[in-house]
Structures are given as structure tokens and as C-alpha cells.
């Protein structure tokens, strides 16, 4: 009975720390510009495979955003045709990002005039973890933690 008590105490104390260890490890996992370029190349390949590519990657803005966010792979997509950002376009890029199995991804969509934007953070394990602005996300059918 004493051994069971000791084992219970050990697990009670050590189990929460395992979660903290992984959170700290993720926090200190910095994404380099070079590894983000590989991610951008993967996304560019997918854009080229579309019958009608409607987005361009803004590499300079993506690089600046990687430096800001530090722990996320970033792609800034600018629509090259007039019109609003659509549900099918966002869904396509979410599926592409999931299929590449990158841990933390930030997708930033702009319309052609760069007046409207949608900011989505996700990872392949948990799905969408953040989407802003909320009204736009609802209209696009993007729900957090899908």
C-alpha cells in the first residue's frame, strides 16, 4: 500500500510537468528563414498545380512575419484577381498546409487591394487554432479547433 501511495504521488507531481516541457520546447523551436523558404516552395508548387492560380506569395512580407512570429511557418498570400477572398480558396490552402504536416503554420490572406485580410494559424494535429477577423472567418466557414 505504501508503494502505491508513493507511485501515485510521483505521477501526480510529474504528469503536469510533461505538458509544460513540450510547451516550452515548442516555444523555443524557432523557425529559420531557410526552413520557411522550403515551406513557401511547397506552397508555390501547389499554387502552380492549380488550374487557375489566383494567389501570389509575398516572400518579403512572409519573411518579415517569420521574424515577428518566430515559432511559426508563415505564408502571406495576395490575391492577384479582383474580388473577395472565398471559402473555396481558403479551404484549399488549409488543406495544403495540413497535408504538408508542418507543426505551426500561419496563413495570411490579402485581397488584391490589400484592404481586407484574413489571418489563420493552424497545425496539422489540432487544425485551426486562431482565425481573425471573426466575422470573416465565420463567412469563410473557418472554425477554430476543428
Predicted confidence band of residue 17 (pLDDT cuts 50, 70, 90): low
The pTM (predicted TM-score) of the whole model is 0.77
pLDDT value of residue 117: 92
Predicted confidence band of residue 27 (pLDDT cuts 50, 70, 90): low
Q: How far apart are CA 50 and CA 65, in angstroms?
A: 25
Our CA dihedral for 126, 109, 44, 104, rounded to 10 degrees, sits at: -30
Grid cell in block for residue 114: 490589400
Share of the chain above pLDDT 90, in %: 30
pLDDT value of residue 22: 59
- Distance, first Cα to last Cα, the chain: 44
Q: What average pLDDT score do residues 104-110 get?
A: 93
Do 118 and 90 form a contact (C-beta atoms < 8 A)?
yes
Q: What average pLDDT score do residues 36-58 get?
A: 87
Our CA dihedral for 20, 21, 27, 30, rounded to 10 degrees, sits at: -170
Share of the chain above pLDDT 70, in %: 88
pLDDT value of residue 77: 94
Phi/psi zone of residue 83: left (φ > 0), alpha (ψ -120 to 50 degrees), beta? left
pLDDT, tens digit, 9 for 90 and up, residues 60-77? 999 999 999 888 999 999
Q: What average pLDDT score do residues 1-21 get?
A: 78
Amino acid at each position: 500500500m505504501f508503494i502505491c501511495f508513493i507511485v501515485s504521488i510521483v505521477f501526480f507531481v510529474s504528469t503536469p510537468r510533461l505538458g509544460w516541457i513540450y510547451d516550452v520546447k515548442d516555444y523555443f523551436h524557432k523557425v529559420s528563414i531557410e526552413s520557411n523558404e522550403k515551406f513557401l516552395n511547397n506552397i508555390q508548387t501547389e499554387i502552380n498545380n492549380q488550374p487557375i492560380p489566383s494567389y501570389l506569395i509575398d516572400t518579403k512580407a512572409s519573411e518579415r512575419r517569420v521574424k515577428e512570429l518566430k515559432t511559426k511557418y508563415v505564408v502571406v498570400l495576395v490575391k492577384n484577381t479582383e474580388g473577395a477572398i472565398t471559402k473555396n480558396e481558403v479551404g484549399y490552402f488549409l488543406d495544403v498546409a495540413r497535408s504538408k504536416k508542418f507543426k505551426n503554420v500561419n496563413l495570411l490572406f490579402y485581397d488584391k487591394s490589400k484592404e481586407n485580410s484574413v489571418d489563420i494559424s493552424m497545425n496539422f494535429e489540432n487544425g485551426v487554432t486562431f482565425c481573425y477577423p471573426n466575422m470573416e472567418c465565420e463567412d469563410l466557414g473557418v472554425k477554430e479547433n476543428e
